[in-house]
Each structure stands twice: as C-alpha cells, then as structure tokens.
Structure 1
C-alpha cells in the first residue's frame, strides 16, 4: 500500500512534495504558506490530502508548534531526494533540447581533416563538452547513403548531395596542380591547362568524388585533349603519394599542399582549374539542436 501510494504521489502530485518539504523545513504552516506564495488553509488541506494518500501521519500539530513524526522524518529525506532528481531531470531535458548533451555521429571525407574538420570539431567540443562525438571516415557516396539510412547525423563531404538531404557549402576554392619534384612543369612559373596535355594524370577515383573526376575530364576536353589517366586512387593522400612517386600530376584541393611537401611541388593553373568544395550535410527535416549547432559552427569555421 505504501509503495503504491508513494509512486502515485510522485507521479501525479509532485507539488505535494514541495508543500510537505516547505512545512517540514519551516515547522510553521504560516511561514511555509508565505514561502510558497499561497494562503495557509489550502496548504493545510494539501498536507492532509498527502497524509491520507500515504496512510500515515507526517506531522504532530498543536496550537503552539508543528513537529515531524518519525514517518515524516523518513519521508522528508526521500522527498528532498525526489525533488532534487526531478530538478536534475528537468535540467537534463533542457540541456538536451538546446543541444548541450547527447550524441552526434559524423561522417567525413579524409581531406576534411586538412583544415575544416579539426577546426569545427575543436570549437564544437569547446562549446558543447557534454556531447559525445562519434567520427567515421568515409567517402561522400557512403556518407550520402549513411545519412539517408540514419546511420550518421552529419556528413562532412564533397557536394552536391541527393534529394532528402540538405547541404551547406563551407569552403570552395580552385584546385592546384600537384607535380613531382624535378618534373619540367615544376620549374615553370606559369602553367596553362594545355601544358598538361601529354603529362600522365593521377585522378581521385570517380567512386570517391564523381564531380571532381568529371570536371577534370571536361576541362581537359574543352582545352582540346583527353587526360592521360595513368592511375586512380580512392583518397587524396594516396593521390599525392603517387604524385610524389613520379607516377603523374594531379589536381588537388589547395588544403592538400602540406602533404609530401619535400617531394611534390604545387602550382596554380593560370587559365582554368576545377573547383573543390567542402560541405556539411544532414537529413532534410532534422531540426535537432545537436545538428543545428554543428552546422552553425561549420558555417563560420574560418573565424575560429
């Protein structure tokens, strides 16, 4: 009987606990009523109702004083603990609603680690230390699939993305040409795209980034030649490693220029070059604060 009444009180009448604690701490109904910003008669009625529901007397009442019974003393300890837990639960709910706590699953392309991702993650963790981040490296196509399935919440990828997803471009720049150290093109101050007509290319696989692959082929065709594709690779780091090995030249995002700096020379192509964009993607309609906060930081990443 006690357990049932106790649970019913906690679930449906938390205000009874607040009234009881006020009276127990003041040991004076008038002072407790003043503290609760109510009149004394309704407070007395609420305490009587609580005692009836519990089936025990919580207070000894005389005209001169109010004292806790043994049952009341025990109940006070538990009531305080319950109210504290309720306050804690409410605080957690508010923090979760504002994106201060929770879990966020992020997919990212490897090249995002050259600049955008470390800055955004560092700032996000500084602002929201209560959020656990789970990061997984994966290609743009895999991120698109994972976002659609709900396996990840955020993608840091190469736009565009498919329907059902939203994307914000956070970086866009012309690619630079990675050239093996000692190659004749590395000695040139100015390079046009046509100067690469007879030089082997190393391309990032179309499976990894179809847009860049197609742009390079299209720009070369517009300049009057088909690119001599000597090798393809799945990651930019591998692409630049193959350039360092002398396999060929490659268009890469400017953020890649610190890779293999001793073995690779980076040059700007004067006339035309493909664009490299980096974006943050999320599911259409996902309005969670966790996602919104990450996107907001990503949009301003260059300020941090």
Structure 2
C-alpha cells in the first residue's frame, strides 16, 4: 500500500466522482481507477459501489475513509510541527540563571522571547555559575545566564552587560558621613560577601582590592543585601541590585574603584538549536538597548 494510493482514495471518496477526482489530482481517469482497484485488491475489500452514473462508498469504505482522513490529519500536523520546530517556533528551552539575573537581563529577555514564540515551553532553573557550567556540559540545560569568566572550550560565552559595582551600606553607617571615599576607608568595617562558590571572580577581585574583614558569606545577592540591611556589614554588589531594601540600605558609587559586574550568556558550541540561537540574539539586542 502506497501513500499515493491513499491520497487517491481520499480524493475519490470526497468527490464520489472519478472524473472530478482525476481532475483534482491532475491525472487521467484510467490510472486513477486502476490505483483504486489495486488498493481494493490489496485490502481484500470493496471500497466503492460504482456504475456508469453513480459512485458510492461501501460501509467498509466509509469506515476506511474516516480512519485514513484522520491519519492524514495527524500526518499534516506532524509535518507542520516538524517545520515549526526546525524554525524555532515550538519546542522546549531550558534556561539556567543566577539569581541576580532576575533583576537584570532575564525578565526583559524572557518577555521578548515568549512574545515571539508563545508555543515554546521555557523551563527555568536557578543555579550558580559553576552549576550552570556543569549542567551545560552535561546537556541538562540549553543556555545559561551567568557570571563570566567561563573557561571551557566546549562552551561559548557572550558578555551581554558590564556595569561597575556599588557599595551597599546600612543606613546611618559611619561611611555615609565621609566625603571622597576611597578603598582604604573600607578597611575597618566588616563585609558581607557573596560566596566564592557563587561567583569566584568577584570574590577574588574584592579580596585583591581591599583585603576585607569577612563577617558573613551568602549564596545569593538578595541574602547579602538583606544581611547588610540587618547591620551585619557592608557589601560590594552589582548596580542591578540597587532596588533591594532601599529603605534600610544606601548604595554608594565609588567612581569605578570597585570591580565591574558582567553578565554573560553561555551555550554549547555544538548546539545548533534555533531556540538557543533566538534566545542569544534577543539577549544581545537587550545589551544594545541598555
């Protein structure tokens, strides 16, 4: 049984006229009649009652017609879904992200991506940068929104934002009384540090800049700033965190004396997924507009 024979059968069943069916199929009537006869012979059933004036489906033909039409509907959907997946219009994208990306790049990029591709399932996993690198290499996520650098040949990373960090201090802290602050002014005061496990690059830069007294470490910037608000110490944080705890915390600009905070997008070099490509392109556009 050939797919072409089933297409011929569907057309004849819809027209109930061999001449009109042949015209629709752009073939002559004799080969159409022959194909239907061959199909009936192969199935071992009569599909049509026919004479010179009338063509009608048999009961077996009616049931076969319903089932074959459903089969073609499924086939059409399968072809459409395959084409849409190829063009990145449907499918699934798993995105890892650091917590601080939720008040930086992530909301805008996700809104744009979902508006363009509403039928794509986006799965989000909050992971530290080291965990994102690990899960990217193990193909558990498709793209990571993380803090560079990333030193793995199997991964590509694009920097999508760079901004100087600021100093978060509790309200009524002695540093707020000083003018023309320098890094030396920070030496007497305890720090709340983002754990090296979360962002090794920033941790090491801060140690190199001012050799801080570390009072407490935390895994997320939101926790770091919450501890600053509680008076546990001061902290170096990205500018994007400045909307957190604004009633209890003051953010000081150090005129580029503090490290710069970069955000990157990482993915596997071998990944040719159109969904990953689209997500990256949207992230790059976000960078240009911010």
Instruction: Judge same fold: TM > 0.5, yes or no.
Output: yes
* 5+ residue gaps, structure 2: none
Provide the residue aligned with 2:106 in structure 1. Answer: 117
- 1:96, 1:256 → 2: CA distance? 37
The within-5 A match list for 1:43-82 is: 43-82=32-71
Provide the residue aligned with 2:198 in structure 1. Answer: 208
- Aligned with 1:249 (options 234, 245, 255): 234
Instruction: Give CA-to-partner distance per residue, 1:221-270, whole Å, 9 cap, x none.
Output: xxxxx333332221111211222222222110001001111111101102
Aligned-partner SS, 2:205: helix
Aligned length: 288
Provide the residue aligned with 2:72 in structure 1. Answer: 83
Higher mean C-alpha deviation, range 262-271 or range 58-67: 58-67
Provide the residue aligned with 1:5 in structure 2. Answer: none
- Aligned with 2:169 (options 166, 172, 179): 179
* Deviating 4+ runs (over 4 angstroms): none
- Asked if 1:40 corresponds to 2:4, the answer is no
- 1:90, 1:190 → 2: CA distance? 66
Provide the residue aligned with 2:217 in structure 1. Answer: 232
- 1:138, 1:42 → 2: CA distance? 64
Distance 1:178 1:39, change over 3 A: same
- 2:140, 2:126 → 1: CA distance? 13
- 1:61, 1:230 → 2: CA distance? 93
Cα pair 1:102 1:132 within 8 Å, conserved? yes
- Aligned with 2:146 (options 157, 160, 165): 157
Provide the residue aligned with 1:108 in structure 2. Answer: 97
- Asked if 1:286 corresponds to 2:286, the answer is no
- Asked if 1:147 corresponds to 2:136, the answer is yes
Distance 1:271 1:257, change over 3 A: closer
Aligned-partner SS, 2:250: strand
CA RMSD after TM alignment: 1.9
Provide the residue aligned with 2:257 in structure 1. Answer: 272
* 5+ residue gaps, structure 1: 1-8, 221-225
